[in-house]
Amino acid sequence: MLYALGALLLFQLAGEAVTQLLGLPIPGPVLGMALLFTTLAWKRSWAERLRETASGMLQHLSLLFVPAGVGVMLHAGRVAHEWLAIGAALLLGTVVTLAVTALTIRAGMRLQAAWRREASE
């Protein structure tokens, strides 16, 4: 378990380091997650070593939302004052995310169909 937790933290650290060194506009943990995904796709044996720890962390994921909830309660006055902008950002962000996801899936399906046609010829 300690090995897996250390590996997860090292990927997060690597993502943060790359983001800081290159000045990328991507959060370090997101880049670290992309690096972890690439590594797991390349070395499938790592997935089994990380599975138990990752599952344990996911079981307690709700605890990670407690600080965000406390922050919302702490700034309830500000949220009440700026509810329209917050609501619009949430709505627009959701719609854009759904649209981009749908377009990405559609493009992926077209690519997959093209590859299948090429392979069958």
Of 10, 40, 59, the last residue of a domain is 59
Same domain (yes/no): 19, 50: yes
Residue-averaged pLDDT of the chain: 90
Same domain (yes/no): 50, 70: no
Same domain (yes/no): 83, 53: no
Q: Name which of 19-28, 60-69, 70-79 the model is least confident about.
A: 60-69
Same domain (yes/no): 35, 78: no
Same domain (yes/no): 77, 118: yes
Same domain (yes/no): 34, 87: no
pLDDT over threshold 80, residue 64: no
Same domain (yes/no): 5, 55: yes
Give the Å distances, CA to CA, from 88 to 77, 82, 91, 96, 119.
18, 10, 5, 12, 46
Q: What is the pLDDT of residues 5-20, one digit of tens each?
A: 898 899 999 999 999 9
CA distance 2 to 92: 41
Q: Which domain holds residue 73?
A: 65-121
Same domain (yes/no): 73, 96: yes
Same domain (yes/no): 80, 54: no
Of 40, 59, 78, the last residue of a domain is 59
Same domain (yes/no): 79, 105: yes
Asked if 8 contacts 54 with a C-beta cutoff of 8 angstroms, the reply is yes
Q: Which residue has the higher pLDDT, 110 or 63?
A: 110
Same domain (yes/no): 53, 1: yes
pLDDT, residue 113, reads: 93
